[in-house]
């Protein structure tokens, strides 16, 4: 069908069976070349761009981190000095603790809620698409918008969250001022934006589970809950691992939500109570113009992400068995 | 038996209640954004809070547009330029590379595809310091190409189009076109690309939304006088964080284009996300 709409191919100059016309070998060679080498041409843009703007900067970060490198561009090799300083830098460890804390209190409820939500969506129902769109719509909202709106919702004096808590007799919480409360507020933003998305990922995997597994389990007298734990969860294990790894990579680089929750200040609260590692990297590189030290923070975060991915992989693999 | 198994899969009233609650919690912050955007700052601080929209939307929007500090309209135009350029390019180059990986035979095809899948896991954002230095060297800092060029094709896009191309385009069709004397590019453009259209649309939608919402890199490399819309938002939110009605009007205006895209193409976007999940 699409062939017919295509412009006609070049007229065959030498019908099959006739001796090749003089122009033919060149054309033939061209076609061979095309078939052999054009695939590389077609995939080259990705590798060139990724090499120049993805891989090279990431690797070069390691090199910069071994230097005392500043704004003017003067740099001197200092070996592992930046890392040594980092190991005893209280602000860095504070950022690490904040990032991990927010990550844990965001990810654990998020995965549980997403699984529950997927299980609810995995039924015959009316307005299926509408419900799916309803839970996905937070993911469409920009992170900046989320930071701004939730910053107001978690406001101390006029925030809706404190108002609701007040109805139950709970005193006003100064969400920004305390470590735990700010972590909870930021984790709420992350979960609001990503739970529905992960629920759809889990839902897709649930729908790929053969139904006769459930039917035979039902014949054997397994309850709904039993089926969920003994069939759905084990069958979903690869998807859960995938979702946790993706959340780890994203969650440990958390930046925009805490930044805008703190009204755009890179310190993350007056006592750095919610400054993340990505914010600390930014502070060093782009506000103090200490590229070398900032790169050491970035590279350490990179290793932390790799480590956490490995740990989470092992944890989820074991617990979902 | 059939009826029993079908009953097993039907939603109960309780399921509906739980889902309506989940949707309400998902939608409420967005609704709240529009409520605040339509009120004066005085009425936002009412106790109990007023949950219905007011009539100040045009006033608030006018204040946003007149605010030189945020250059909101300019940010909006820049975001359209950046998002459209990135989307068109990602769709084209990802389809081209995806076609090569799915339908052309060449040495190293398998390993190279594995590399591409691997790059999806790499937190390239952590390379922003040398990337910034590179942009300074190129003289691109503060310019829109700095937030366009690095993202012109993505590993995710290539992989997605490869998966779709391998099942959506019949080998016989490609063979036939080649026998007719089509070059590989003509095969791609006239035979494969039309067949890839559904996946290309989904990739385009996802890319557009992601580019529109990008924050950290534009924040690092662009100047306040050449903002994207997200940057305008953060400038406004930082400088006027007590002026909720103005900030929220800006947030609503920055979110509206995406909500429109989502309402129009939600079904396709959901399909794309769920199909990608099964294959990953």
pLDDT tens for residues A96-118? 999 999 999 999 999 999 999 99
The CATH number of residue B94's host domain is 1.10.3720.10
- Least CA distance to A159: which residue of chain B? B45
- Least CA distance to A199: which residue of chain B? B274
| Residue B163 distance to chain A (closest CA, Å) | 15
pLDDT tens for residues B174-205? 989 988 888 999 999 999 999 999 999 999 99
A89-319 classified as CATH 3.50.50.60 = no
Residues 63-102 of B with CB under 8 A from A: 93-94, 96-97, 99-101
Q: How much of chain A, in percent, has pLDDT values that exceed 70?
A: 92
User: What local confidence, expressed as pLDDT, does residue A156 receive?
Assistant: 87
Distance of CA A80 to the CA centre of its chain: 30
For residue A108 the two structure tokens come to 């654990």
For chain B, which ranges sit under pLDDT 50? Answer: 1-7, 280
The H or E element spanning position A311 is: helix A291-319
User: What local confidence, expressed as pLDDT, does residue B1 receive?
Assistant: 39
A12/B203 Cα distance (integer angstroms): 38
Q: Identify the CA nearest to A122 among candidates B89, B10, B199.
A: B10
Cβ neighbourhood burial of B223 (10 Å; 0-12, 13-18, 19+): exposed
Least confident of A182-196, A215-229, A285-299: A215-229
Residue A15 has pLDDT above 50, yes or no: no
Residues in A closer than 8 angstroms to B15, CB to CB, are: 120, 123, 125
Residues 19-38 of B with CB under 8 A from A: 19, 22-23, 25-27, 29-30, 32-33, 36
Q: Identify the CA nearest to A260 among candidates A145, A182, A175.
A: A145
User: What local confidence, expressed as pLDDT, does residue A263 receive?
Assistant: 86
Distance of CA A202 to the CA centre of its chain: 16
B136/B116 Cα distance (integer angstroms): 28
Residue B262 touches chain A, beta carbons under 8 Å: yes
B93/A43 Cα distance (integer angstroms): 8
Residues in A closer than 8 angstroms to B116, CB to CB, are: 46
A·B CB contacts under 8 A: 316
**CA contacts within 13 A on the Cβ side of A66:** 6
Q: Which of B128, B155, B277 sits opposite A50 (nearest CB)?
A: B155
B131/B99 Cα distance (integer angstroms): 30
Buried (b) or exposed (e) across B115-150, using 16+ Cβ within 10 A? ebeebeebbbbbbbbbbbbbbeeeebbebbebbbbb
| Residue B159 distance to chain A (closest CA, Å) | 11
Residue A130 burial (CB count, 10 A): 12
| Residue B68 distance to chain A (closest CA, Å) | 18
| Residue A87 distance to chain B (closest CA, Å) | 19
Q: Which domain holds residue B85?
A: 74-229
B50/B27 Cα distance (integer angstroms): 17
Reported ipTM: 0.89
Q: Which of A43, A160, A295 sits opposite B97 (nearest CB)?
A: A43
Q: What is the pTM of this model?
A: 0.88
Q: Which of B15, B186, B234 sits opposite A120 (nearest CB)?
A: B15
Residues in A closer than 8 angstroms to B22, CB to CB, are: 117, 120, 134-135, 196
> DSSP characters for A143-189?
HHHHHHHHHHHT-TTT-HHHHHHHHTTPPP--TTTSHHHHHHHHHHH
DSSP lists the bridge partners of residue A68 as: A76
| A117 to B269: CB separation less than 8 angstroms, yes or no | no
Helix, strand or coil for residue A289?
A: coil
**CA contacts within 13 A on the Cβ side of B71:** 12
Helix, strand or coil for residue A124?
A: strand
Q: Identify the CA nearest to A253 among candidates B117, B217, B232.
A: B217
Model confidence at A205, pLDDT cuts 50, 70, 90, reads very high
User: What local confidence, expressed as pLDDT, does residue B278 receive?
Assistant: 62
> Does residue B140 fall inside a structural domain?
yes
For residue B21 the two structure tokens come to 């609650």
pLDDT tens for residues A167-200? 998 888 999 999 999 999 999 999 999 999 999 9
Contacts of A112 (CB under 8 A, 6+ apart): none
For residue B278 the two structure tokens come to 């099964």
> Does residue B151 fall inside a structural domain?
yes
Residue A263 burial (CB count, 10 A): 17
B102/B169 Cα distance (integer angstroms): 9
Place of tokens 């219905």: B52
Radius of gyration of chain B (CA): 23
Cβ neighbourhood burial of A11 (10 Å; 0-12, 13-18, 19+): exposed
Beta strands in A225-285 (DSSP E): none
Model confidence at A10, pLDDT cuts 50, 70, 90, reads very low
pLDDT tens for residues A20-77? 455 567 777 888 888 889 999 999 999 999 999 999 999 999 999 999 988 776 788 9
> DSSP characters for A64-81?
HTTEEEBTTS-EEE-TTH
B226/B75 Cα distance (integer angstroms): 7
B73/B81 Cα distance (integer angstroms): 12
Q: Identify the CA nearest to B243 among candidates B77, B86, B17, B56.
A: B56
Select the highest-mean-pLDDT range: A10-14, A69-73, A218-222, B152-156: B152-156
> Does residue B20 fall inside a structural domain?
no
Q: What is the SS3 assignment for B127-184?
A: HHHHHHHHHHHHCCCCCCHHHHHHHCCCHHHHHHHHHHHHHHCCHHHHHHHHHCCCCH
Please check whether residue B86 is in contact with residue B149, taking contact to mean a CB–CB distance below 8 angstroms.
no
The domain spans of chain A are 24-64, 89-319
Q: Helices (H) and strands (E) in chain A — how many of each?
A: 16, 2
User: What local confidence, expressed as pLDDT, does residue B277 receive?
Assistant: 64
Cβ neighbourhood burial of B174 (10 Å; 0-12, 13-18, 19+): buried
For residue B132 the two structure tokens come to 């910034």
| Residue A180 distance to chain B (closest CA, Å) | 22
Buried (b) or exposed (e) across A69-107, using 16+ Cβ within 10 A? beeeeeeeebeebbbeebeebeebebbbebbbbbbebbb
Residue A285 has pLDDT above 70, yes or no: yes
Nearest 5°: phi and psi at A68?
-90, 100
User: What local confidence, expressed as pLDDT, does residue B44 receive?
Assistant: 77
Q: Which of A64, A143, A242 sits opposite B129 (nearest CB)?
A: A64
Structurally, chain B folds into a number of domains equal to 1
């Amino acid at each position: 069908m699409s062939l017919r709409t295509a412009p006609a191919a070049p007229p065959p100059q030498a019908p099959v069976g006739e001796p090749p016309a003089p122009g033919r070998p060149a054309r033939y060679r061209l076609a061979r070349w095309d078939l052999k080498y054009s695939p590389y041409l077609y995939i080259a843009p990705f590798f060139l761009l990724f090499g120049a703007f993805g891989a090279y900067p990431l690797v070069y970060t390691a090199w910069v981190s071994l230097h005392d490198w500043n704004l003017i561009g003067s740099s001197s090799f200092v070996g592992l000095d930046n890392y040594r300083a980092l190991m005893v830098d209280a602000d860095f460890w504070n950022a690490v603790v904040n990032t991990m804390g927010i990550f844990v209190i965001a990810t654990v409820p998020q995965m549980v809620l997403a699984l529950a939500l997927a299980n609810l969506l995995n039924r015959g129902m009316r307005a299926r698409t509408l419900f799916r769109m309803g839970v996905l719509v937070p993911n469409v909202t920009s992170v900046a918008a989320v930071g701004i709106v939730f910053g107001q919702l978690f406001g101390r004096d006029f925030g809706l969250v404190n108002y609701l808590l007040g109805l139950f007799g709970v005193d006003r919480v100064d969400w920004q001022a305390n470590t735990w409360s700010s972590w909870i507020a930021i984790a709420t933003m992350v979960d609001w934006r990503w739970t529905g998305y992960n629920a759809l990922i889990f839902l897709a995997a649930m729908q790929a589970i053969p139904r006769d597994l459930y039917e035979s389990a039902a014949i054997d007298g397994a309850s709904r809950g039993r089926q969920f734990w003994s069939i759905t969860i084990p069958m979903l294990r690869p998807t859960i691992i995938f979702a946790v790894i993706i959340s780890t990579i994203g969650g440990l680089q958390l930046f925009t939500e805490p930044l805008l929750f703190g009204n755009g200040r890179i310190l993350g609260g007056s006592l750095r109570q919610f400054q993340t590692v990505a914010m600390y990297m930014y502070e060093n590189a782009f506000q103090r113009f200490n590229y070398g030290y900032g790169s050491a923070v970035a590279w350490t975060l990179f290793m932390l992400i790799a480590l956490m991915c490995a740990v989470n992989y092992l944890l989820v693999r074991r617990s979902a068995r | 038996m059939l009826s029993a198994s079908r009953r097993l899969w039907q939603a109960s009233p309780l399921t509906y209640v739980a889902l309506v609650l989940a949707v309400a919690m998902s939608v409420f912050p967005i609704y709240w954004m529009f409520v605040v955007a339509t009120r004066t700052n005085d009425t936002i601080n009412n106790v109990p809070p007023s949950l219905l929209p007011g009539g100040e939307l045009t006033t608030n929007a006018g204040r946003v547009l007149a605010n030189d500090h945020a250059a909101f309209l300019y940010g909006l135009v820049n975001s359209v330029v950046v998002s459209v350029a990135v989307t068109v390019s990602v769709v084209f180059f990802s389809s081209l590379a995806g076609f090569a990986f799915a339908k052309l035979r060449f040495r190293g095809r398998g390993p190279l595809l594995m590399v591409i899948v691997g790059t999806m896991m790499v937190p390239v954002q952590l390379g922003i310091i040398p990337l910034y230095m590179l942009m300074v060297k190129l003289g691109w800092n503060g310019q829109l190409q700095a937030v366009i060029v690095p993202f012109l094709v993505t590993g995710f896009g290539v992989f997605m189009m490869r998966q779709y191309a391998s099942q959506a385009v019949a080998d016989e069709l490609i063979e036939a076109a080649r026998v007719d004397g089509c070059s590989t590019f003509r095969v791609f453009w006239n035979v494969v690309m039309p067949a890839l259209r559904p996946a290309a649309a989904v990739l385009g939608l996802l890319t557009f939304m992601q580019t529109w919402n990008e924050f950290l890199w534009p924040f690092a490399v662009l100047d306040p006088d050449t903002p994207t819309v997200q940057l305008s938002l953060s400038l406004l939110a930082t400088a006027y964080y007590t002026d909720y009605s103005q900030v929220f009007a800006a947030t609503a205006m920055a979110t509206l284009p995406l909500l429109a895209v989502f309402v129009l193409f939600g079904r396709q976007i959901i399909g794309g996300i769920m199909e990608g999940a099964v294959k990953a």
